Structure 1
Amino acid sequence: MTGRFAALLLLTTALPAFAGQAPGPADAPDIPISKQDRFYSSDQFSNTVSVIDPSSNTLLGVIRLGDTTPANLSPLYRGQLLVHGMGFSPDHRTLAVISIGSNSVSFIDTATNLVKHVAYVGRSPHEAFFTPDRREVWVSVRGEDYIAVLDAGTYQETGRIKVPNGPGMTIFSPDGAFGYVCSSFSPETVVIDTKSHAIVGRVKQESPFCPDIAATPDGRQVWLTLKDVGRTMVFDARPPFAVLRVLDTGPITNHVNFIRTPRGQFAYVTVGGLNEVKVFRTDTFEQVTAIRVGALPHGLWPSGDGTRMYVGLENADAVAAIDTAANAVVATIPIGQGPQGVAYVPGAVPQGEGRDNLQPPGLAANSVQLLLTGADGRTGTQVTLFDQGPLQILQAAATGLPPGKPHVLALSTQADGTGPLQVLASFMTNPAGAAIVNTVGPIRQVVQENAGPVRRYLVIAPGSAAQPGAALQIQK
């Protein structure tokens, strides 16, 4: 009897712990929010993973995977760089965290917050996720043209699946039959049979730049975002994978995810250029509302019962918690710098407080936000200066500019943007007239109000670094 009980217990603990919310199937039971749950964000500029207790909406600390700039520029640097993507195992015991700059996947134990293995893959991976049967981890190697398949037990690469150039993300159908892989460099999403690893379907994307893809819990639809044109596509999750709808969602459309409630199934889409999360019904595709959340919303994930949607705010170093019944922000939680991929993991900590091996955020808690406006006085570009000590990483979410044109981000000695410009970065706007612009330097020291005689003003101007034009947007 004892042996049979032990065998039954082992079988029970080995089963996946899916909730009836994304990425689980609709027929799984919802899991109410508890202090054993965790919400995680991958913080690109502080190279940390922030750990939040959703029962109290508090930051417990960070898992430090690497150093900030300029320490991470050393040829002897051994930490992770550009911590970006996030996935988790079906048993909710392991995080898979992608670091783009170091081409790695860090596997983290959710109970202890310790890294138990680091796997190195091809150039510039973007996202990783476990197959629903918990046997494999599929890593989208965006800098190349394949999915790296890792053994979920040993974390060793066992094979590669050839896909269109620049795979952005893989997500699986709730029943585990298909893997859906969108592209960030090629205008095509592919559908892969998870058993044979063969491509069994192709979907033409409206543009080449898809950063995120998600499957509905009812197993009927797949939604993908197109960041460069500000659209979201929906296609049938089953053969022949026909496109069902294309939605104009807005500039810098980032990620999409779902909740299921007695009122229906809803898609939540982060629109970075509008600082909004837009909510759509998945049956009629009607937009229900738009929720103001904060600067540059990026990744988002539902709680295990669908009562909350947690959203990483890339340019606010924070997470917004949305009550999905009221579709209103009920908490904003400070975290690390530049959150990208996120994950809500029900029951991540089986016992205890789960604070072991966490650290305070340190410099990651420091950032400054600025606004650039056009001649009409309307806000066009939000800028965040992420403090790295003597330097800052500047990230600008530029919007409201002529599409498909070269521009520069520069410093002017004049508040109205006239006079000679010191160019910090050159960029090309996408078809929606938007762009994400990055540069590094001691910028805070010269753009703050008390900078004295060295005071400079951030501006955006058309043209190239060699020949910038008159400022289109100036620091407010």
Structure 2
Amino acid sequence: MKTRILAGLLASSILAGIAPALAGQAPFAASSPNIPVSSRDRVYAAEQFSNTVSVTDPATNTLLGVIRLGDPQPGNFSPLYRGQVLVHGMGFSPDKTTIAVVSIGSNSVTFIDTATNTVKHTTYIGRSPHEAFYTQDGKEVWVTVRGEDYISVIDTATYEEKTRIKVPNGPGMQIFSPDGKYGYICSSFVPETVVVDVASHQIVGHVKQESPFCPNIAATPDGQQVWFTLKDIGKTQVFNALPPFDLIRTIDTGPITNHVNFAANANGTFAYITIGGLNQVKVYRTDTFEQVATIPVDKLPHGIWPSGDGTRIYVGQENADRLAAIDTLTNKVVAQVPIGQAAQAVNYVPNAVPEGDGLANLQPLGLAGQTLHLALTPVAGKSEAMPTSVSLFDQGLLQVLQASVTGLGPKKPYLLALSNSPEGKGEIEPISAFMTNPAGSAIVNATGPIRQIVRSDAKAERRYLVILEGTAAQRGAVVQKQVLN
């Protein structure tokens, strides 16, 4: 009787669309137990312009505060500055007690206690590290040193670099097989992913990338597949997680394809991929590779991570300063949480705070919550292309400008500039020259008192953002102009 009742309840819950997740979640094995969402869990986002790590309670989808690892510009330009710069990558220990946060500009990995939000240690390594993650036994942290050609292997007992693993130039990210046997390392500078035997630190496999720029890689919980993204050409590739590590599928995902991760629920296991140029998360089955959903999100989605039970997946929206919570059964955004500036990596850590309220040493957002958002559209009228999003991240008197440029010609030079005319027909002052990628997109950065200019109440002083074809020496036509509010 109990068996029939249980089966009936399960069937009813599936029909009602509230079926429980049935498999372990990434980065753990499918055989691992699911951990229901609770206020003991934490969602962390690494934010590169406020130099903060935001801390969110997923049970209520509220920001609890930020861990401040550094100062905004121009304070962090000082030769005596000791904080972190460009907080970017992140991974967490298998026992869920520590997050390792990578800061690109200060060449560091900061180890933070999840229960108390305190820095336990900071390790300084090679040029421009990008991502860090723990081996499955928790004894090592592997850090991709993207500005060089190796993995820095840090001993978690001493926080010291114990060895280096030579890999192709510009390693982008590494992740491990759920059984802990293999490390998979893609490259951001050359078109090659390598597979490393964790025990021996020796390369045992090679996978050809369709392009040189891979920022992110993830392994399915069943240990069968590895997915990696190619940001420059808007594709995602899938290869066999086991020897001979052969390529299985290449998927056209869209401009500024950022991160990929997985969620398993009663309907199967699904890959969720953030597409910055389209402001979407695309969802694919891992068994048939069929795209089953397109989820609209806010500007420039980047990092992504599942909850401990696979019922939700969290997305950092880089140009929106918000964290989106997505229900994986309905594939709809169910919450938006304000966080710090320019979210990069996102980690969901189940049971990060086993006791207490976990609020110690957290600070309010403050200046990190102040950002102005603009948009640029084609000058030739309406277009089906997504508009270019521009965010001005407040640093005090200055702002860091970041434009997620889309809808331009592939592999061509352009200028982001200021004009004294809304149509870009007047005087032009270049801000930043850039080259689009093969998908006709680019991420463009600049620093200055730009908000004061583009929002000036004085008509004679106001300027307007535009994008022109060509270079500073040989300017072409205006192709995108600022949307006026």
* Common fold: TM-score over 0.5: yes
2:362 aligned residue: 358
Q: 2:315 aligns with which of 304, 311, 316?
A: 311
Q: 1:473 aligns with which of 463, 474, 480?
A: 480
Q: 2:50 aligns with which of 28, 46, 51?
A: 46
Matched, 1:187 2:191: yes
1:443 aligned residue: 450
1:271-310 alpha-carbon deviations (Å, 9 max, x no partner): 0000000000000000001100100000000000000000
* Amino acid in the other structure paired with 1:416: E
CA drift at 1:390: 0.1
CA drift at 1:346: 0.1
- Residues 454 and 233 of structure 1: CA distance in aligned 2, closer, same or farther (over 3 Å): same
2:408 aligned residue: 401
1:472 is paired with a residue whose SS is strand
Deviates more, 1:122-131 or 1:378-387: 378-387
CA contact (8 A) 1:409 1:459 kept: yes
* Amino acid in the other structure paired with 1:41: A
Matched, 1:376 2:367: no
Please give the alpha-carbon distance, in whole angstroms, between the structure 2 residues aligned to 1:418 and 1:163.
Answer: 49
1:230 aligned residue: 234
| Residues 209-224 of structure 1: pairs in structure 2 closer than 5 A | 209-224=213-228
1:272 aligned residue: 276
2:73 aligned residue: 69
CA drift at 1:395: 0.1
1:221-277 alpha-carbon deviations (Å, 9 max, x no partner): 000000000000000000001111000000000000001111110000000000000
CA contact (8 A) 1:399 1:433 kept: yes
Matched, 1:140 2:147: no
* Amino acid in the other structure paired with 2:246: A
Matched, 1:464 2:471: yes
Q: 2:287 aligns with which of 260, 266, 283?
A: 283
* Amino acid in the other structure paired with 1:278: K
CA drift at 1:63: 0.2
Please give the alpha-carbon distance, in whole angstroms, between the structure 2 residues aligned to 1:439 and 1:465.
Answer: 15
Matched, 1:349 2:356: no
* Amino acid in the other structure paired with 1:268: Y
1:324-369 alpha-carbon deviations (Å, 9 max, x no partner): 1110000000000000011000000010110000001111111011
Please give the alpha-carbon distance, in whole angstroms, between the structure 2 residues aligned to 1:451 and 1:277.
Answer: 40
Pairwise CA RMSD: 0.8
Please give the alpha-carbon distance, in whole angstroms, between the structure 2 residues aligned to 1:338 and 1:61.
Answer: 16
Structure 1 segments unaligned to the other structure (5+ residues): 1-18
Matched, 1:412 2:419: yes
1:469 is paired with a residue whose SS is strand
CA contact (8 A) 1:445 1:451 kept: no
Q: 2:102 aligns with which of 82, 98, 103?
A: 98
CA contact (8 A) 1:418 1:470 kept: no
1:21-54 alpha-carbon deviations (Å, 9 max, x no partner): 0000000110000100000000000000000000
Q: 1:114 aligns with which of 97, 111, 118?
A: 118
1:49 is paired with a residue whose SS is strand
CA drift at 1:451: 4.3
Please give the alpha-carbon distance, in whole angstroms, between the structure 2 residues aligned to 1:59 and 1:465.
Answer: 43
1:13 aligned residue: none
Please give the alpha-carbon distance, in whole angstroms, between the structure 2 residues aligned to 1:368 and 1:470.
Answer: 27
* Amino acid in the other structure paired with 2:394: D
2:20 aligned residue: none
2:54 is paired with a residue whose SS is strand
Please give the alpha-carbon distance, in whole angstroms, between the structure 1 residues aligned to 2:200 and 2:209.
Answer: 24
| Identity within the alignment, % | 67
1:445 is paired with a residue whose SS is helix
Please give the alpha-carbon distance, in whole angstroms, between the structure 1 residues aligned to 2:350 and 2:200.
Answer: 31
Please give the alpha-carbon distance, in whole angstroms, between the structure 2 residues aligned to 1:460 and 1:260.
Answer: 42
1:325 aligned residue: 329
* Amino acid in the other structure paired with 2:382: G
* Amino acid in the other structure paired with 2:415: V
CA drift at 1:468: 1.8
Q: Structure 1 residue runs of 4+, over 2 Å off?
A: 376-380, 449-452
2:367 is paired with a residue whose SS is helix
Please give the alpha-carbon distance, in whole angstroms, between the structure 1 residues aligned to 2:158 and 2:352.
Answer: 21
2:15 aligned residue: none
1:173 aligned residue: 177
Please give the alpha-carbon distance, in whole angstroms, between the structure 2 residues aligned to 1:450 and 1:88.
Answer: 47
CA drift at 1:449: 5.8
